Chain A
Amino acid sequence: MQEEIIISGFGGQGALFAGQLLAYAAMDQGYHVTWIPSYGPEMRGGKARCTVVISDEEIGSPLVRRPSSAIVLNIPSMEAFEPAVKPGGVLVVNSSLVPQKSERDDIRVFYLPATDIATELGNVRLANVVCLGALVRATGILPLEAVKQALDKHLPERYRTLLALNNQALDRGAACVR
């Protein structure tokens, strides 16, 4: 088993954190995992993305051109990664900020108003976690419970007060996948 996930958005949308959360959950479940960010002279509002590879054997390349699934949090990410997802793969689209639809019929696409859901939950910054809930449910890479345990175990101390909200965000995202 090997899954490659690209999570992409604006800096500040939490693409990197969502990827780390997934990586922690995979590690805790005993998988090999790599997390690699795009990096450069960038800032809030610039582009931010990471690639997570989860495998039951030692991971060779930590980077892929064609991921098995992707989360796109904004329009430029949709343009870059909607064509890249492997046939049979999963694409999770933050439809609050991405109006266009995928024209592909060889992948499963889930449109979530993630930013609206996050705002409704009380914190706009949860859109990344909403999308992660959907991706985890849609791909079945890991049980959603594993991601919740990883949150509990690895969420930095200063964000502990947001634990319950993050769990709700995961559930709301997962509920969008039917």
Chain B
Amino acid sequence: MAKELIEGNVAIAEAAIRAGLEAFYGYPITPQTEILEHLSWRMPQEGRVFLQAESEIASINMVYGAACAGVRVMTSSSSPGISLMQEGFSYIACSEVPAVVINVMRGGPGLGNVQPSQGDYFQAVKMAGHGDFHMIALAPASVQEAIDLVVLAFDLADRYRTIAMVVADGAIGQMMEPAELPPMRPVRRPEERPTWALTGAKGRKPNIITSLYLSAETLERVNLALQAKLRRIAAQETRWKEYRTEDAELLLVAFGTVGRICQTVVREARALGMRVGLLRPITLWPFPSTRLAALASRGRGILVVEMNAGQMVEDVRLAVEGCCPVQSYGRMGGVIPLPDEILPELKNM
């Protein structure tokens, strides 16, 4: 298929359709409303369900219901809306049903603004909701990668019966780039639904999906199984990209939009004779700690650049365990850090 010039939000929506999305429930919020706009006509066109719910809380609970029925389901929102969904994330995690969530992050805290931000890193990787669980968090740095990661999110959600969140930001959502959409997958037929799904129990024992376990011992067993699953995901699904790390003595670590901006910084620094490389986490959870530790052991410093006050930097410090200095550079409120301000930070190391 030929490349087309496509906006990030539209690409995310169309990629979901092609990955076999059967039902979408959501509520509009800038800077991701184009996802709903696209799905609002494309889903009915494909004979699938699009429903604008009355709120984000309703959306995530509709997602929970559809997921229990074994339907490929997604919602999308931006930062304040994601906060409203957190109770639902926790129920979905405990019930072990697959769901895809898109967060096109905007400036916060509070109502904030609609400019690009990475302020929800902690929320995506550490505090997705109450209780002990993680979501798989995938961070695209381009429109093409957003498409690829939406498809991957559906596959990982299905494989591990978990939430997979695509953590984008306003810049990825609003920008246009040439990209190639995947071919259309057939939608699952009713008889192809997973065996655990709630499909009516005709001629079989009823399935039970719940997140309520009144016995402490039983709930601990559920938790232990969940933790074992999370360890499996961490072992098998950690993803990242490296750029010019082969001889790097200084390492930039950045994700999403800032990750690609740092690619420009590497080029400019190399042109000045500095040996600089970039590690860009693609999965924010699970985090590429092992690889980072290996790179840190042969470098003399790491600069973590983010569109927040310094959140991922905590995971970088945990990963490298003090074996080299780790500095943080962050812009907040929707301000995007540009190469001409990152390069001096790097020179000061």
Contacts and interface: CB of A to CB of B under 8 A. Distances in A.
Interface of A: 20, 23-24, 27, 32-37, 39-41, 58-66, 154
B339 interface: yes
B176 A60 contact: no
B31 A60 contact: no
B101 to A, nearest CB: 22
A58 B143 CA distance: 13
A27 B336 CA distance: 25
Contacts of A20: 5, 176
B175 to A, nearest CB: 4
Nearest to A24: B5
B260 interface: yes
Given A35-B5, A39-B30, A64-B338, 4 more contacts: A33-B177, A36-B176, A39-B114, A63-B338
A58 B267 CA distance: 11
Contacts of B123: none
Nearest to B176: A35
A41 B114 contact: yes
A58 B261 CA distance: 11
Contact of B177 (A35, A40, A65): A35
Nearest to B143: A34
B264 interface: yes
Given A40-B115, A61-B339, A35 B175 contact: yes
Interface in B108-128: 113-115
B199 interface: no
A65 B338 CA distance: 8
A133 B3 CA distance: 25
A154 B4 CA distance: 10
B338 A62 contact: no
Interface residues of B, number: 27
A23 B179 CA distance: 13
A59 B115 CA distance: 21
Contact of B262 (A27, A32, A60): A60
Given A24-B5, A35-B5, A65-B340, A60 B263 contact: yes
Given A34-B177, A35-B176, A61 B260 contact: yes
A62 B5 contact: no
A83 to B, nearest CB: 15
Contact of B178 (A33, A37, A40, A65): A33
B171 interface: yes
B10 to A, nearest CB: 13
Nearest to A150: B5
Given A20-B5, A27-B3, A40-B114, A61 B338 contact: yes
Contacts of A27: 3, 5, 178
B204 to A, nearest CB: 51
Contacts of A33: 5, 177-178
B288 interface: no
Contacts of B340: 65-66
A63 B336 contact: yes
B277 interface: no
Nearest to A32: B178
Contacts of B336: 63
Contacts of B115: 40
Nearest first, the 8 A-B pairs at minimum CB distance are: A60-B264, A60-B263, A36-B175, A35-B176, A61-B261, A61-B264, A27-B178, A60-B260
Contacts of A58: 263
A22 B5 CA distance: 11
A65 B261 CA distance: 12
A65 B178 CA distance: 23
29 contacts: A20-B5, A23-B176, A27-B5, A33-B5, A33-B177, A33-B178, A34-B175, A34-B176, A35-B177, A36-B171, A36-B174, A36-B176, A37-B175, A39-B30, A39-B114, A39-B174, A41-B30, A58-B263, A60-B263, A60-B264, A61-B260, A61-B261, A61-B263, A61-B339, A62-B171, A62-B257, A63-B171, A65-B340, A154-B5
- Highest count of chain B CB atoms <10 Å: which of A35, A60, A65, A66: A60
Contacts of B281: none
Given A39-B170, A62-B260, A65-B338, A23 B5 contact: yes
A32 B175 CA distance: 14
Nearest to B260: A60
Interface string B162-191: 000000001100111110000000000000
Contacts of B170: 39
